[in-house]
Amino acid sequence: MKTSKKLTKQNYLLLLFVLIIPIVALWLGGDSEFGGADTKAVEAIDSADGYTPWFESVWAPPGGETESLLFALQAAIGTGVLAYFIGYIKGKKAAVDAK
């Protein structure tokens, strides 16, 4: 049982490190410029006559690379959740089949 607790502790530490990495990257990251489709869309909307924004952003990331980082982090979390549930269902089915 001791190894199980040790593995659980190790998994929590690894999860903590995975969560700390993007936070530190956001904190240390300077102003980065990255032009993409979003930038072109914003420029097209801003150049349109008679356009009035509905609201202002609560927080603006320091650069385009930060937006890419947040998008990649969102995709990784979504993939992790999806993989977890697929593994859970597959493990549950294997346990039922083993009976």
- Residue 85 structure tokens: 């549930």
* Domain assignment present for 56: no
75-96 pLDDT per residue, tens: 999 999 999 999 999 999 999 9
26-54 pLDDT per residue, tens: 788 766 666 677 778 888 888 888 888 88
What's the start-to-end Cα distance of the chain, in Å? 24
* Domain assignment present for 75: yes
pTM above 0.75, yes or no: no
Give the confidence band of 62 by pLDDT, cuts at 50, 70, 90: confident
Owning domain of residue 82: 1-32+61-99
* Domain assignment present for 41: no
* Domain assignment present for 44: no
* Domain assignment present for 4: yes
* Domain assignment present for 39: no
* Domain assignment present for 38: no
* Domain assignment present for 84: yes
Domain count, the chain: 1
Q: What is the 8-class DSSP label of residue 56?
A: -
